[in-house]
Structure 1
Amino acid sequence: MKTSKVHRIALLFNGNKSFDREVTAGIAAYLGSTRAAWDLFLEEDFRLRLAGIEHWQGDGIIADFDDPAVAAALSRCSIPVVAVGGSYADEAQYPRGIPYVATDNFKLVKLARDHLIDVGLQRFAMFSLPMTGENRWARERENAFGSLMRDDQMDAEIFRGCETTASSWDESVQGQIAWLRSLPKPVGIIAVTDARARQLLQACTIAGIEVPEQVALIGIDNDPMVRMFTRIPLSSVIQGAQEMGRTAAHLLDQMLHGVRLANMRIQVPPAGINVFASSQHQVIKHPHVMRARHFIRQYACQGIKTHQVADYVGVSRSSLETYFRHEMGCSVHDVILRFKLDAAKAGLESAERSIADVATGCGFTSTQYMYLVFKRELGCTPRAYRDRALGENTLAPG
């Protein structure tokens, strides 16, 4: 029986980056759904290392070209290469003679801004990254934001801050706080990554700035690792990274069978938005309700009760309930439960935590009680919610 040739393929990605992990997951999904026979080379720790790559004796490469060093190292490669990375308005930014699969930076930013407009905000800003060659994609997101703001005849407020190292951490946080305090409120902020959004959420907490009443925040990546470390569940734009991986693998598969694809470019749009508390802006008029919601967002998952919220605000429980009924149309307990439910939904969208751990971590008194709340509020069990979320993350179209 004739068998297909097994091709030796190198994947040059950085497993520390959520985007790269999702792209490689898409490559794996393509291989699992086709007859392509590939032996894969990846570093044992899933890091991107270029030393000696020019001497690698293989049949093809798929690589993250956001790093200029990768593009330079593979510019004269004699075997088929497919590049993956950000989209660029300037054609000269794309590598020559190599098919390129891009995330659509303009649509990522537009989707985030449209969401902030939909929740009623009229002022916007962006939290970006310092200017380096490795952050070229962040400049493109800045340019997209600037273009959208100019179209609406508004100034583009962009803050880059500094690199967050152990030695510069305090300086970085204080710089973020100073910037946040300088912004007119309320304001919607788009962070170029979830990691940057997490830092800004922490700065808001330290500075006592209410999220999302004063600052509504949305990131880009839908990174489950980042969500584990945010006290307030983070809204995020979902990149079509897995679709990019499938597309890149398909292109390389064609090239391995003699198809010429030089200079082909494919842009993959975002797959949607995961909306959580950080961007769910509502106009709250009563200062006691605003203060109470700020406290609830931070501590709902620690099992707080209505009387503890009232103590924090400095009013009686009955008075606070009256304010909530008038302003929100629901009880304090309802709002606490809503935030716990949002946190549980975010926790279930990763397979890394057990359902019991999610229940405990989100302040439910038992797994059974969380099951009851999910059935009542969402019409499904936590396990069914997780299965559906993980299935959508794997199969979501680009």
Structure 2
Amino acid sequence: MPSPRRVALLIDTATSWGAGLIEGIAAYAKSRERHWLFSLEPRGKYDRMLLPDHWRGDGVVARITHSALAEQLVDRRLPAVNVSWFRYGENLIPRCTCDEVAAAEMAAKYFVDHGYRQFAYCGSTLRPRHYDRLGEAFAAALARIGQPCQRFAPDPQRFAELDSEQQLQELSGWLSALPKPTALLAFDDIQGRQVTEACAQAGLAVPDHIAVLGGEHDELSSRISSPPLSGVDQAPHEVGFRAAEMLDRLMAGEELRESHVLLPPRRIITRQSTDQVAVPDEMLSAAIRYIREHHAGELRISDLLREVPMSRRALEIGFKRYLGRTPREEIRRVRVEHALALLCDTDLPITKVASVCGFDRPELLTRAFRRELSATPSAFRRRVSQSKAEGN
């Protein structure tokens, strides 16, 4: 057996993102029968991490969130891969992470698909020096469809000098001044939970007044938020698996074909914080809710017309006006969204997924999936489950 390699994981253990990264790295080592000894300590997301002075090992996977860590890794000439959105050590340290622009665009599309026409963004108040590409990309995606985006942007130095209660009051005041309803993207679920707390303090209902989506899903923050938070699933397991593959090549002395790898986010995990139809017409809202509740059955347009007292033409015009698609297209979109969740969260065969989601035949699911996501259900599942399957 070859000598074991010592690999340091400078990754937080307190979030779903960090835990998923670590699981993906371990899955890669197991699938390739690599004898890696991991150096790992319990850490919070905002802990300032560095290698111990006397640590001797073969490689590092790290969230490089400050220049001192990047300089340390470069000075020691250690094979390393950065899994952070921060770009310290760029062009010197390879990077593998979730594509923040794709995550922002997914969030914007999600809100628009749910009928929202007023938007806001709340960056991380814990990282005032971070260049927030997620927020920039979210605003840019909305600007392309002619929609403005308001941003919570207090003076960083002044805001940092406030205590937590004063910060919450300032955030509450900003939220109160937003038009209602507003769809808000927060930098991550930690920031999203602060937003829902500020909404409660200001007497604002979530999601009725402010729909809140976290840019990086965290299971604990989501669960303890009131209401539970929706978030962008940034596929941390896949990122960790791919980062470990890159590190393996570096430790073997190989050159990487790609030194900057951006993987697409997986999906939006919907919880109560965005579970709202943002359409002002009550009858159209009722029709949309009916689709969400009955899409798994043999749902036809005639069923909608029996549910809401309006003509077929008025229904079609209303859907086009507020959602930008026809009722039939909305039924297909909701069914694909349900299928997406089942492909991620269950091992149901695709034929069963199709049936459960209201598709008469699997090929109809494939056709709809390709139209909505430019991929087939089987290809999507392979991408999602590859690293997990190889790690078992």
TM-score relative to the length of structure 1? 0.65
Which residue type is aligned with residue 62 of structure 1? V
Could you say which residue in structure 1 is the equivalent of 2:62?
63
Q: Deviations over 1:322-345 (max 9, x none)?
A: xxx989xxxxxxxxxxxxxxxxx9
Change in Cα spacing, 1:267 to 1:154, as seen in structure 2 (3 Å) is same
Does structure 2 conserve the Cα–Cα contact (< 8 Å) formed by 1:233 and 1:277? yes
C-alpha displacement at 1:80, in angstroms?
1.2
Mean Cα deviation higher: 62-71 or 190-199: 62-71
Q: Tell me what 2:39 maps to.
A: 41
Worse overlay, 212-221 or 51-60: 51-60
Q: Write out aligned runs for 1:15-164 (5 A).
A: 15-43=13-41, 50=49, 53=52, 55-86=54-85, 95-130=90-125, 132=127, 135-136=130-131, 139-160=132-153
Instruction: State the secondary structure of the residue aligned to 1:259.
Output: coil
183, 187, 193: which one aligns with 1:192: 187
Aligned to 1:366: none
Task: Write the distance in 1 (CA, Å) between the matches of 2:206 and 2:248.
Answer: 47
Deviations 1:209-235 (A, max 9, x none): 122222111112221111221221211
Measured on the aligned residues, the alpha-carbon RMSD in Å equals 3.6
AA aligned opposite 1:253 = D
Task: Say whether 1:224 aligns with 2:207.
Answer: no
Corresponding residue pairs, total: 296
CA contact (8 A) 1:43 1:49 kept: no
Conservation of the 8 A alpha-carbon contact between 1:190 and 1:219: yes
Q: Percent identity?
A: 26
CA deviations on 1:251-281 (whole Å, 9 max, x unpaired) are: 1111222212397111011011111221122
Conservation of the 8 A alpha-carbon contact between 1:129 and 1:160: no
Q: Is the 8 A contact 2:6 2:37 kept in 1?
A: yes
In the alignment, the residues of structure 1 paired with residue 389 and residue 184 of structure 2 have an alpha-carbon distance, to the nearest angstrom, of 26
Aligned to 1:274: 269
Q: Distance in 1 between matches of 2:140 and 2:89?
A: 21
Of residues 40-49 and 104-113 in structure 1, the stretch that sits farther from structure 2 once superposed is 40-49
Matched, 1:239 2:238: no
Q: Secondary structure at the match of 1:62?
A: strand
The offset of 1:239, in angstroms, is 0.6
The alpha-carbon distance between structure 1 residues 175 and 396, as it changes in their structure 2 partners (threshold 3 A), is farther
Q: Which digits, 9 at most, give the CA deviation of each residue in 1:166-223, with x for residues without a partner?
A: 9712212211211111111111000110011111112222222122222111112221
CA contact (8 A) 2:238 2:387 kept: no
| Structure 2: gaps of 5 or more residues | 286-306, 310-340, 346-355, 358-383
CA distance in 2, matches of 1:207, 1:175: 10
CA contact (8 A) 1:123 1:188 kept: yes
Counterpart check, 1:171 vs 2:166: yes
User: Structure 2-normalised TM-score?
Assistant: 0.66
2:207 maps to 212
Residue 256 of structure 1 aligns to which amino acid in structure 2?
A: M
Q: Secondary structure at the match of 2:75?
A: coil
Q: Distance in 1 between matches of 2:386 and 2:172?
A: 34
Deviates more, 1:36-45 or 1:49-58: 49-58
1:265 aligns with 2:263: no
Moved more, 19-28 or 268-277: 19-28
